[in-house]
Amino acid sequence: MESTSPELAVLREKLEAEESAYAEMLASVDRLASFTLPAEALPAQPEQMRRLNELWRQPDLPSLSPRLWGRAWRRVWAFLAPRFERQQDFNSLVVQVLNGQLEQTARLHAHLRDVVGALVRYFQRLLPVIDARDRMTSALATTRAELILEAFDRRQQSLAQRLEGLLALRDRVETLTEETHAIARALSQAAPAPEQAHAASLGAEDSVYVAFENRYRGSREELRERLVEYVDMFRDLGPVVDVGCGRGEFLELLRDAGVSARGVDANASAVGECQARGLDVSQGDLMPYVERLSDGAVGGLFAAQVAEHLPPSVLMALLRESYRALRRGGLLVLETVNPRSVVGFFDLYTRDLTHERPLHPDTLSFLAAAAGFSETRILWRAPVEPAAQLQRIPTDGLPEAAAQLLNENVARLNGLLYAPQEYALLARR
């Protein structure tokens, strides 16, 4: 590659900017390294402190014979003696504080001078490192374009392989749909009754599980804030059924929005709390309740953090019965933990002993489509704060190709470790 190439010109500009910034920083540190310590600026201070340490004690009053002064002297002395002692204690404490502060301040100033001196020596030692970096950058500049082209070729090959896999997957969708129906029928015959299976999956004591949810799912206000996003989805779809409604936060949000809604939950304590708030909530297992709904009787079905509690046979039965009970254009929303997020899986999913199994978003979407829903999509929820994720690596001082590769790996790790912790399946009838 010729020396007049645009890439080398960009590298040269970056190098000149870095060298200018380094020279300015070194000059600033050199200026900061020259300062006068308090002991040097106040040469009379040690003698003043010596005199203060000598004079802090009050002179003792002369001892006078009681025969000379009589009772009047004894009374005066009894009045003055405690006050002289108190003044003496005060003087002592002031001198001790001054001595301690001056000693520590002197140590701190000396330490500060040592730190600044070490910084100056360090920056001076960086010069050979900078020269070596410049030589390495010049050597790598001739091959950087070839590395980028090679990486691009690898990505093209990877995309081609993925495209072939997607085409093959498209050809198998119909076959897999039929196989899923067959598996569902077999599981329905082999599994226990849906209501018994669901009761077993939620086998914790009612009051204990309510306390567990209160502690780890958050307060009512926090949960309402997380669920408010769903309200607009059901605004014109009443009546809506909240399956596994818990403490009734979503039912309250729907009521406030003027949407007709009712709920069902197996937990007697949670149902009692909902009814005390004037909500239309029934106690019982979810499957018998949904099965009793008439065909096309409701416009929406909602279940937050319920699907992961269900065995496969019950989950597929819920999808089929939800499709039947919804009218045309109705909406099913299933919110659950995202097992593709390492943080979500270990912090949310594994904490709850009543969870049956994690649900991959592709799996849940596929099962919903197999149950008849014509339109499905995934809504990602509960993102991890960027400050809690892995941070990008600064590119200063690194070859561009290496820095780009490192930051691509950081992005991939963030996508695996810190993906959204929850997701919601939106299935339209």
Q: Which residues face 282 on adjacent strands?
A: 264
pLDDT of residue 389: 78
Scan for tokens 């329905």, then name that residue. Answer: 188
Q: Tens of pLDDT along 212-254?
A: 555 556 778 888 999 999 999 999 998 999 999 999 999 999 9
Mean pLDDT across the chain, nearest whole number? 77
pLDDT at 370 over 50: yes
Name the E strands within 109-234: none
pLDDT confidence tier of residue 22, bands split at 50, 70 and 90: confident
Sorted by sequence, the CB contacts under 8 Å of residue 96 that are 6+ apart come out as none
Least confident of 74-78, 133-137, 216-220: 133-137
Q: Tens of pLDDT along 52-61?
A: 777 766 555 5
Query: 375: how many CB neighbours lie within 10 A of its CB?
Result: 12
pLDDT of residue 81: 73
**Edge-to-edge order in the sheet of strand 261-265:** 281-283, 261-265, 240-243, 298-304, 326-337, 422-428, 375-381
141 vs 361, residue with greater confidence: 361
Q: Tens of pLDDT along 393-425?
A: 777 767 777 777 777 787 777 777 788 889 999
pLDDT of residue 174: 56
Query: 271: how many CB neighbours lie within 10 A of its CB?
Result: 23
pLDDT of residue 276: 94
Please, are residues 304 and 379 in contact by the beta-carbon 8 Å criterion? Answer: no
What percentage of the chain has pLDDT greater than the value 90? 31
Q: Give the best-scoring range by mean pLDDT among 84-88, 185-189, 243-247.
A: 243-247
Give domain limits for the chain: 6-58+68-133, 194-428
**The CATH number of domain 194-428 is 3.40.50.150:** yes
Q: How many Cα atoms occupy the beta-carbon half-sphere of 84 within 13 Å?
A: 11
Q: How far is CA 199 from CA 153, 263, 266, 269, 305, in A?
A: 55, 17, 8, 15, 16
Residue 421 DSSP symbol? S
pLDDT of residue 195: 47
pLDDT confidence tier of residue 185, bands split at 50, 70 and 90: low
Please, are residues 311 and 191 in contact by the beta-carbon 8 Å criterion? Answer: yes
pLDDT at 367 over 90: yes
Q: Give the best-scoring range by mean pLDDT among 83-97, 149-163, 204-218, 371-385.
A: 371-385
Residue 283 φ/ψ, nearest 5 degrees? -95, 135
pLDDT of residue 10: 78
Which among 207, 201, 202 is positioned nearest to 270, based on CA atoms? Answer: 207
Least confident of 50-64, 193-207, 248-262, 311-325: 193-207
180 vs 89, residue with greater confidence: 89
**H-assigned helices in 326-399:** 342-344, 361-370
- The pLDDT of 93-111, averaged and rounded, is 76
| H or E stretch at 156 | helix 66-190
Q: Tens of pLDDT along 280-317?
A: 999 999 999 999 999 999 999 999 989 998 999 999 99
- The pLDDT of 136-152, averaged and rounded, is 60
pLDDT at 385 over 50: yes
Which among 403, 397, 393, 396 is positioned nearest to 134, based on CA atoms? Answer: 397
Bridge pairing between strands 261-265 and 281-283: parallel
Q: Give the best-scoring range by mean pLDDT among 64-73, 180-189, 240-249.
A: 240-249
What percentage of the chain has pLDDT greater than the value 70? 70
Tokens for 313, please give them: 């046979």
